[in-house]
Amino acid sequence: MTLSQYKWVLFLLILVPLLYACGDEEEQEVAKIQAAPPENTMQNNIAEQNKIEQEATNSLSSITIAGNFAFASQRMVSIDLHFSTMQFQEKISIYSTIDTSALTPVNLLEQGTINQSNSYKSMLTVATAINALIVVRNDDFSTLVTVKINNHDLLTHTFQE
In this structure, the number of other CB atoms found within 10 A of the CB of residue 110 comes to 14
Distances (CA, A) of 45 to 36, 40, 54, 58: 17, 7, 14, 20
Per-residue pLDDT of the chain (161 residues; tens, 9 = 90+): 677 777 877 777 887 777 777 666 555 555 566 666 666 677 887 888 888 888 877 776 666 666 666 667 888 999 999 999 998 889 999 999 998 888 889 999 999 999 889 999 999 989 888 999 999 999 888 889 999 999 999 999 999 87
Q: How far is CA 132 from the centre of its chain?
A: 28
> What kind of fold does domain 71-159 have according to CATH?
Immunoglobulin-like (2.60.40)
Domain boundaries, the chain: 71-159
